[in-house]
Amino acid sequence: MKEIELTCKLGKELSEDEIRAAAIKALGASPREKVNWCLLRRSIDARTDVIYRYRIQVARASESLPQYHIPEYKDVSSAEPVIVVGSGPAGMFASLRLLMEGLKPVILERGRDVHKRKVDTALLSTKGIVNPDSNYCFGEGGAGTFSDGKLYTRSSKRGDIREVLHQLVSFGADPSILLDAHPHIGSDRLPVIVEKIRECIIQHGGEYHFDCRVTDISTLSDGNLRVSAESSLPGAGPTFFEARNVILATGHSARDIYEMFTRKGWELQAKGFALGVRVEHPQSLINKVRYHGKYQPFMPAAEYSFVTQVEGRGVFSFCMCPGGLLVPSSTAPGELVLNGMSNSGRNSKWANSGVVVSVEPEDLPEYSQHGPLALLRFQQDVERKMFEYTGSLKAPAQRMMDFCRRVPSENLPATSYHPGAVPAPLYDLLPENVALRLKLAFPQVGNKLIKGYYTNDALLLGVESRTSSPVRIPRDPDTLEHVRVPGLYPCGEGAGYSGGIVSSALDGIACAQKIAARQ
């Protein structure tokens, strides 16, 4: 068995004859001998010509190639329940893993199902109405549902990524995600996949409870945990659930969960995160730069990413959405946060990305009185300041070069951000340490990393502040339980153990496996 690499021009597929000939050559086989092959990876290389680079595993016919099979889901109708708080990637993939382990997931989700959620996100974008339980972060499928659906992660050590990708394909994602180096699904396809995951969980005996916001967790004398939840429906009283194990996967925007921990005196830790702006360029400019002027309409919208250091802190691009749209991802009235998403075709006129600066607890001595919630309070203050400037979900915005020169933008280019943008002294609205580093970083990126990036055709909009959780819920590294509360598994991005769809899904799987191993 060997791995080989083949290339072909973008827009062409490798033919079976080409692969067979290369396999025969690599294996030293005779021209008529049968060979097996399996495509492992496909990436775009635009360094000289624009080509696909394929990694292919090849073997003689007598050797079989390793294949991945999704473990079977069991009927868990009468199995031991495990409460899963949150139906984001961490909660969904934890639940699927619980089915495989013969345990019954009982999912409590503060938001609404994916169809009703679409209505709420539309109201948010068009009318500025924020439903605090159903928005771009909260609701079925979590923050990943209306996203770009990028599926890459650097965290291959966290678990078997194949489990996540193969399950996504089994629920309707395009099989190309198994092959592409930078796979993505898109906001038009994700809701259907999320719905199919729910159907699978219910069919196998699991439960979903929507409009079920967890407000308290308490320990009982018999070792069980009691979870209290509230509904936003008028007149609905509290509901109570009990189980020995609870997976808490509420995401980085569930500030009320951190407040609950504080109230109860349960341990939390302040955690560094990153904050900055959303940057929007014309996609045509990014295509031109990244494909070195060789872009053709059949090629995928070009991506970029960069990391640089400015004045001792990382400045980096975050969650880049080629051919994407900017959306308001506020979770409460009076705050303004932007994020990016895209459809599967990635065919809008814009390329957007967060460009953010790392913020560490020691950078904010003035917030130290808030203890573990110091960075969360800082994040909240910046989001409120942005909202107060425009008094609505319109985003304060400045052209890139104007921002760096600290001069006002007289007018703004068109933007994909539906609520709209308002010319503003964005530099002065951002915390000084963040604004200064961004000002130094943009020309540097344009000069050294992405030629053409530093331009006044690029628009900066405030604020990108939900890059990861500013709080960690500490857990035992071996059992994954909270350091004080046995049976409680802080999980996913909100607990501070993942960032992005795939790594959150992997963390969910890891928590479910720990629970199963103790049965």
Ligand X SMILES: Cc1cc2nc3c(=O)[nH]c(=O)nc-3n(C[C@H](O)[C@H](O)[C@H](O)COP(=O)(O)OP(=O)(O)OC[C@H]3O[C@@H](n4cnc5c(N)ncnc54)[C@H](O)[C@@H]3O)c2cc1C
Helix and strand numbers, DSSP H then E, in the chain: 13, 22
Helix axes 89-100, 501-517, angle to 10 degrees: 40
Residue with tokens 């994916």: 114
Choose the stretch contacting ligand X; rule: CB under 6 A; options: 140-148, 272-280, 295-303, 403-411: 140-148
**How many residues contact ligand X, by CB under 6 A?**
44
Question: Mask: binding to ligand X, 419-458, rule CB under 6 A, as x and -?
Answer: ----------------------------------------
Establish whether the linkage from the previous residue to 463 is cis, with ω within 30° of 0: yes
Bridge-based pairing state of the strands 395-399 and 225-230: unpaired
Which residue in the set 245, 283, 339, 416 belongs to the binding site for ligand X (CB under 6 A)? Answer: 339
Which residue in the set 121, 125, 147, 379 belongs to the binding site for ligand X (CB under 6 A)? Answer: 147
DSSP track, 137-206: SSSTTGGGTTS--B---S-GGGS-HHHHHHHHHHTT--GGGGTBSS-B--TTTHHHHHHHHHHHHHHTT-
Choose the stretch contacting ligand X; rule: CB under 6 A; options: 105-113, 191-199, 218-226, 398-406: 105-113
Which residue in the set 101, 113, 148, 335 belongs to the binding site for ligand X (CB under 6 A)? Answer: 148
Bridge-based pairing state of the strands 239-243 and 225-230: antiparallel
Question: Mask: binding to ligand X, 246-285, rule CB under 6 A, as x and -?
Answer: ---xxx--x-xx----------------------------
Query: Between residues 254 and 435, which has the closer beta carbon with respect to ligand X?
Result: 254
Residue of 107, 118, 127 whose CA lies nearest to 341? 118
Smallest distance from ligand X to CB 283, Å? 16
Does 492 bind ligand X (CB under 6 A)? Our answer is yes
Which residue in the set 167, 358, 398, 504 belongs to the binding site for ligand X (CB under 6 A)? Answer: 504
Query: Between residues 329 and 358, which has the closer beta carbon with respect to ligand X?
Result: 329
Does 85 bind ligand X (CB under 6 A)? Our answer is yes
The answer to whether 284 touches 302, Cβ cutoff 8 Å, is no
The answer to whether 50 touches 299, Cβ cutoff 8 Å, is yes
Which residue in the set 10, 58, 73, 88 belongs to the binding site for ligand X (CB under 6 A)? Answer: 88
Does 109 bind ligand X (CB under 6 A)? Our answer is yes
The three-class DSSP label of residue 277 is strand
Does 149 bind ligand X (CB under 6 A)? Our answer is yes
Which residue in the set 110, 166, 244, 394 belongs to the binding site for ligand X (CB under 6 A)? Answer: 110
The answer to whether 451 touches 289, Cβ cutoff 8 Å, is yes
Which residue in the set 319, 356, 386, 463 belongs to the binding site for ligand X (CB under 6 A)? Answer: 319
Find residue 29's DSSP bridge partners.
Answer: none
Choose the stretch contacting ligand X; rule: CB under 6 A; options: 79-87, 199-207, 366-374, 473-481: 79-87
Residues that bind ligand X (CB under 6 A): 85-91, 108-111, 136-139, 142-144, 146-150, 213-214, 249-251, 254, 256-257, 319, 327, 329, 339, 341, 492-494, 498-501, 504
